[in-house]
């Protein structure tokens, strides 16, 4: 710590320069939120305790706009998203890295709110942020803040979760109502003035995913960009199976459904940040569903579809009107920069 | 693969949307360069083979401007930088993640040149890029391309490299001439017209670092942002020792020295992307130096300083003129966006 020199109210280019100002930013801001023994080592790499068994490794960049929205901010997304990517692989998320690209002029107070949300999400998930990096680019060369997290988790013995596992007869469980994150973010971005208290669903799903994996789930995905439609298509392709989804069973809260109708959005295509799907053999589906409902963020889990056959990769929707249609990957970009 | 629809010549917002266009970008561009069995799994996380012993974990974002410069591009930096952060911890780099933030309108051909450089650097270092992510932001909300890599490596039994290990009597080895990366990048950025063939020093240093660690090095750092000055100050602080650096022994090539004089830059403060320092107890220093010189990128290694005492963290320079001065962390930002 350099006593006497306090942190600036706004981020300057020098905060990314690797010298005195960088150090002040790290010591006075980042370490205030992320302090732990491994991070304190401040070497070029963090040394992790010995790990048992197989590891899962993942990364995501977060460029959400706006960076703050009802129920969360880009920092919460960055921690929960990587926790969830590890969790749906059946891993226990353990260690996270966090790399920041800051736009010159970013308010330090906003950065601190984002870091506080990261700390809170990491605490809830039981993960440590053990290594990081900060770069600063000139005003107009980024959009306030981009965050990239990577994560390492341990896959317990006997757990083998993969999209390729999907088999005819599997029940498809959706962990909770869809679409809230997308609507909350669009409302905040465009000042749509939709009067509602719709909040992002962003949440760490590691305990929920562990409950599913320990009770029979063989395939899991978190339903992010591309929504349920993309997640189901990816699984159908990976396992070469036909999936049937029953639209009347897909959970969407009434206020989200109303907002989607107003905005011309389909809840099946919207990104969520705290929802997952789990595939489970039919005979275990009641057990898995009960286990998921007993865990936070899984209370409203439902079975909404099945794997009907193998040999052809397709996702079919039984519509509310009683018809059937193929659910294809949307071609364009419905909701840019949603995560 | 979606036959019949070919990749666009420029990146569009839809390429970050998680649906059909995203998939084309991944299948037709990214997998062309990064294909391997783990990445092919295309699950939310990569599953790594069982690992032995302790792990090292690190991350860095790369925002270099311009993105191409003599001897390399931002992709080469992104792979080598993370390989090197693992290497100077004494780890064998094994697995990398790569997350891309692309600006709408980026030329696909430029992206491919960057990916090709990443592939080549990963091949040279013997690491696999096993997981990744791509986001796209609107034109003017980023600067062509930002890349964040994270890396996981294995620390061999008996290797314990840490800045805190520095002890009085240690010799300080610099692995090669300083300053080339900074000068190459500034020359490219500003069309300075310095007639020279100065190229970035960007290189994967894992074999060099392993040779140093196996032959007595107890402290290593790669000399990136903040230059040699910042690296030595960090070590002095971490170990609470006084370091003496002999300016006449610090290796700087003549053309780089001339360019620095012209630009008003100090080679001691400039980022390198393929240089490291190693601290080694005096009695082993000849062995370590010989081992480093026998490895690629270490041919010009020299001993340029010593740890003189403990109890006070300070870095002192014996100048070419015969004087002495304290080397402090520079306060401002000499070279923004150099990596």
Model confidence at A265: pLDDT above 80? yes
In DSSP terms, which residues pair with B243 in a beta bridge? B307, B315
Closest-CA residue to B44 (of A335, A83, A148, A336): A83
Give the pLDDT confidence score for residue B325 in this predicted structure: 96
Tell me how crowded residue A164 is: count the other CB atoms within 10 A of its CB: 17
B312 touches chain A (CB under 8 A): no
Give the model confidence (pLDDT) of A17-63 as tens digits. Answer: 888 899 999 999 999 999 898 888 777 899 998 877 899 999 999 99
Task: Please answer whether residues A147 and A111 qualify as being in contact, where contact means their C-beta atoms are separated by less than 8 angstroms.
Answer: no
Chain-chain contact of B148 with A99 (C-beta, under 8 angstroms): yes
Residues of chain B with CATH 3.90.650.10: 163-326
Q: Go through B133-149 and write b for each residue having 16 or more CB atoms within 10 A of its CB, e for each that does not.
A: bbbbbeeebbbbbbbbb
**B317–A contact, CB cutoff 8 A:** no
Mean pLDDT of B7-21: 92
Reported as a single tens digit per residue, the pLDDT across A119-166 is 999 999 999 999 999 999 999 999 999 999 999 999 999 999 999 999
Structure tokens at B244: 């003496």
pLDDT of residue B82: 98
Between positions 46 and 85 of A, the ones with CB within 8 A of B are: 46-51, 53-63, 65, 84-85
Provide the pLDDT for residue A4. 61
Binary contact (A17, B226; C-beta < 8 A): yes
Share of chain B above pLDDT 70, in %: 98
Across residues B258-272, what is the average pLDDT?
91
**Nearest residue of A to residue B142 by CA position?**
A142
Q: What average pLDDT does range A222-250 have in this prediction?
A: 96
Among chain A residues, CA nearest to B21: A331
**Which residue has tokens 């001691």?**
B268
pLDDT at residue B2 greater than cutoff 50: no
Interchain proximity A333–B12, CB inside 8 Å: yes
**Chain A, chain B: beta-carbon pairs less than 8 Å apart:** 279
Confidence class for position A1, pLDDT limits 50, 70, 90: very low
| Bridge partner list, B177 | none
A5 lies within 8 A of chain B by CB: no
- Does residue B96 belong to the interface with chain A, where contact is any CB pair within 8 Å? no
Q: Is the pLDDT of residue A95 over 90?
A: yes
- What tokens appear for A130 in the block? 């053990």
Q: Which of A129, A144, A150 to mutate to test the interface with B (most CBs of B within 10 A)?
A: A150
- The Cα–Cα gap between B31 and B23 comes to 10
A45·B56 Cβ contact <8 A: yes
H or E, element range at A98 = strand A92-103
Q: What is the CA radius of gyration of chain A?
A: 21
pLDDT at A2 over 50: no
β-pairing, B219-222 with B276-280?
A: antiparallel
Which residues does chain B have within 8 Å of residue A155's beta carbon, measured at their own beta carbons? 47
pLDDT at B1 over 70: no
Instruction: Give B284→chain A minimum CA distance, Å.
Output: 23
Q: Which of A56, A133, A230 sits opposite B60 (nearest CB)?
A: A133
Using the predicted structure, report yes or no on whether residue B263 has a pLDDT greater than 80.
yes
Distance in angstroms (rounded) separating the CA atoms of residues B137 and B272? 29
**Where residue B19 falls among pLDDT bands split at 50, 70, 90?**
confident
Among all chains, which residue has been given the structure tokens 């750092």?
Answer: B221
Q: Cβ(A114)–Cβ(A75) under 8 Å? A: yes
Among the partner residues B23, B86, B331, nearest to A20 by beta-carbon distance: B331
Give the DSSP H or E segment for A74: helix A74-87
CA dihedral (B221, B227, B231, B234) in degrees, to 10, reads -140
Parallel, antiparallel, or unpaired for β B314-318 and B241-246? Answer: parallel
Decide if A152 touches B, using CB distance below 8 A. Answer: yes
Give the residue on A whose Cα is nearest the Cα of B47: A56
Contact B142 A143 (CB under 8 A): yes
- pLDDT tens column, B107-131: 999 999 999 999 999 999 999 999 9
Q: How far is CA B134 from CA A227, A235, B18, in A?
A: 16, 20, 9
Q: Which one of B85, B269, B335 has the shortest CB-CB distance to A45?
A: B85
B297 touches chain A (CB under 8 A): no
- Give the number of C-alpha atoms closer than 13 A to the C-alpha of residue B58, restricted to the C-beta side: 28
User: A317 pLDDT exceeds 90?
Assistant: yes
Q: What percent of chain A has pLDDT over 70?
A: 98
Instruction: Write out residues 210-249 of A within 8 Å (CB-CB) of B.
Output: 221-222, 224-226, 229-230, 234, 238
Region A224-236: mean pLDDT is: 94
Say yes or no to pLDDT of B306 above 50. Answer: yes
Residues B17, A225: C-beta atoms closer than 8 Å: yes
- pLDDT one-digit tens code per residue, B207-248: 999 999 999 999 999 999 889 999 999 999 999 999 999 999
Pick the CATH number of A163-326 from 3.90.70.10, 3.20.20.80, 3.50.50.60, 3.90.650.10: 3.90.650.10
Distance from C-alpha of A336 to C-alpha of B89, rounded to nearest angstrom: 39
Question: B52: helix, coil or strand?
Answer: coil
For CATH 3.30.1330.10, the residue range(s) in chain A are 13-155
Query: Domain B13-155, what fold?
Result: 60s Ribosomal Protein L30; Chain: A; (3.30.1330)
Give A169 or A331, the one with higher predicted confidence: A169
B35 pLDDT higher than 90: no
Query: For A1-5, A39-43, A325-329, which range has the lowest pLDDT when averaged over its residues?
Result: A1-5
Nearest CA to B209 among B271, B119, B295? B295
- What is the pLDDT, as a whole number, of residue B15? 95
> Quick check: helix, strand or coil at residue B236?
helix
What is the structure's pLDDT at A192? 72
């Amino acid at each position: 710590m350099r006593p006497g020199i306090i942190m600036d109210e706004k981020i300057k280019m020098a905060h990314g320069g690797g010298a005195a100002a960088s150090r002040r930013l790290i010591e006075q801001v980042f370490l205030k939120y992320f302090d732990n023994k491994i991070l304190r080592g401040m070497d070029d790499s963090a040394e992790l305790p010995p790990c048992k068994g197989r590891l899962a490794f993942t990364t995501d960049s977060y460029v959400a706009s706006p960076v703050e929205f009802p129920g969360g901010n880009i920092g919460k997304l960055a921690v929960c998203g990587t926790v969830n990517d590890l969790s749906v692989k059946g891993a226990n998320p353990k260690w996270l890295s966090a790399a920041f690209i800051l736009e010159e002029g970013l308010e330090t107070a906003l950065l601190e709110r984002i870091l506080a949300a990261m700390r809170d999400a990491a605490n809830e998930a039981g993960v440590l942020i053990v290594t990081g990096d900060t770069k600063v680019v000139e005003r107009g060369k980024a959009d306030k803040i981009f965050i990239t997290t990577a994560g390492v988790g341990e896959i317990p013995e006997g757990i083998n979760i993969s999209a390729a596992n999907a088999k005819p007869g599997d029940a498809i469980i959706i962990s909770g109502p869809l679409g809230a994150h997308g609507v909350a973010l669009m409302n905040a971005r465009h000042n749509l003035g939709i009067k509602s208290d719709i909040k992002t669903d962003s949440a760490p799903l590691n305990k929920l995913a562990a409950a599913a994996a320990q009770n029979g789930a063989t395939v899991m995905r978190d339903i992010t960009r591309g929504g349920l439609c993309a997640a189901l298509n990816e699984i159908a392709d990976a396992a070469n199976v036909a999936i049937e989804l029953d639209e009347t069973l897909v959970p969407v809260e009434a206020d989200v459904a109303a907002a989607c109708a107003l905005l011309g959005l389909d809840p099946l295509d919207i990104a969520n940040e705290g929802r997952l799907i789990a595939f489970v053999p039919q005979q275990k589906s009641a057990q898995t569903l009960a286990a998921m409902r007993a865990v936070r963020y899984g209370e409203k889990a439902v079975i909404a579809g099945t794997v009907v056959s193998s040999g052809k990769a397709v996702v079919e929707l039984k519509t509310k009107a009683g018809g059937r249609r193929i659910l294809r990957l949307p071609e364009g970009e419905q909701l840019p920069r949603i995560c």
